[in-house]
Amino acid sequence: MPRETMKAKRERALAGAARMNEHYPAAECALHYGGDPFRLVIAVLLSAQTTDAGVNKVTPALWERYPTPADLAQADVRDVEGIIRTIGFFRTKAANCVRCAQMVVADYAGEVPRDIDELQKLPGVGRKTANVVLNEAFGIVEGIAVDTHVFRIAHRLKFAGPSADTPAKTEDALLKLYPRECWGPVNHQWVLFGRQTCAARSPKCGECFLADLCPSRGA
């Protein structure tokens, strides 16, 4: 097969984006954070290699015990471990939660920074988390949050090539492909699509609304 031109790939991507908007017009963050940017930071931090449902089961008790960044900054890490112990890597995440709260209080006067570089200075916060927080909490779109779902779908759709073998490289490929106005909805929509249709194992290609746009269908 001839190599797909960037123009053709972009047209395919935009067609897919239009269908995503039709199927998921109100896609939103599945993590419960009560509209509080700091709680969103902590919830996304906890969600690494853990389901959103699993995070939502432990955060109510965490917020009740430590309702503000200042409260969490003074927490005993072992107590936080006890609250979140049902999720993966709970010890590392508990330590990061407390250290993150301490930095927010000490360096940012208790307010979550609205800058992608400053956000990534927080313990446990990488570019994916920073993108989610900026987009969801502040309506600031600086990039596309690439989690396991977005990474998988980008490669199945051949929107990212074999050399884009990290989340950062995959994000770069997507940013070059999509116009900026399309960046915001990608993560929430693709997460839903990944859970419902384009699963890691046994994707439902036969009922996929992107099947005719997907080079990997049936593979």
Q: Which of the residues are catalytic?
A: 128, 147
Q: Environment class of residue 28 by beta-carbon count within 10 Å: exposed (0-12), middle (13-18) or buried (19+)?
A: exposed
Separation CA 93–CA 91 (nearest Å): 5
Counting Cα atoms < 13 Å in the Cβ hemisphere of 33 gives: 23
The sign of the torsion formed by the CA atoms of 174, 134, 31, 104 equals positive
Contacts of residue 217, Cβ cutoff 8 Å, sequence gap at least 6:
205, 208, 211
| CA dist 8 → 12, 48, 109, 159 (Å) | 6, 34, 48, 11
Separation CA 206–CA 218 (nearest Å): 8
